[in-house]
Homo-oligomer: A and B are copies of this chain.
Amino acid sequence: MAVKREPMSRRDRPAKPALSRRWIVETAVDIMRREGLEKVTMRRLAQELDTGPASLYVYVAHTAALHAAVLDALLGEVDLSGDEGGEDWREQLRAVMRSYTLVLFAHPQLARSALVARPSGENYLRLVERALGLLSLGGATREQAAWGVDTLLQSATATAAEQSTREHDPAATDDWNATVRALGTASATTHPAIAAHMPALIGGTPEQRFRWGFDVLVNGITHTPAPAVEE
């Protein structure tokens, strides 16, 4: 007996889920993992979702908001435990910041969008919460901790945005080479200080730079008095 069945076409592949913000963002993350953030466009995403670009605007205000949502999803990968750091608040904070930096390094173009559109998703809040707690443990005042978290995250984000571009964008590599060349050929007579600082200006391993940059900020944050902010 033939079984009565629905027309097959709809069942050949997993049914196309109804449009929803959640599903849109998941698909966007997918495209980013496979092809990079520059392919996460409204048009391309719509195509992947089997609809027209106009449909997305019901759930996403504009492209920047889409990228911000992708970023927050990625921040879910940050290890907030600070486990490697042991008991010391400073080492734990270092581990958290290292994890944050690594996530951004692994997804290059995202760091850039974080500088432009400050994230505000759940994973971002968790990260801020954790960093505030660790700085407080280290004896930072309320203002020092609050502004310090800002500075730490901004610095890590900016570093990732700079470095990442260099690694993945051929054009940006040119720019970096141009900078190195420009610094290198600055003559000792016209730019004596540059010449005198030369090996250091372009040297240092990424790990050395990360460690020093982190220590600079934490030392500065905990030792520089901040004015009180009123309610």
* Residues of A bordering B, CB below 8 Å: 61-62, 64-65, 68, 112, 115-121, 124-126, 128-130, 132-133, 136, 142-143, 145-151, 154-155, 157-159, 161-162, 165, 171-172, 174-176, 178-179, 181-183, 186, 191-194, 196-197, 199-201, 203-204, 208-209, 212-213, 215-221, 223-224, 226-227, 229-231
Contacts and interface: CB of A to CB of B under 8 A. Distances in A.
Given A197-B146, A203-B229, A118 B175 contact: yes
Interface majority SS on A: helix, strand, loop or mixed? helix
Nearest to A111: B115
Contacts of A204: 143, 147, 227, 229
Contacts of A158: 115, 154-155, 157-158
A126 B136 CA distance: 40
Contact of A175 (B64, B193, B197, B220): B64
Given A194-B132, A212-B226, A115 B112 contact: yes
A223 B218 CA distance: 11
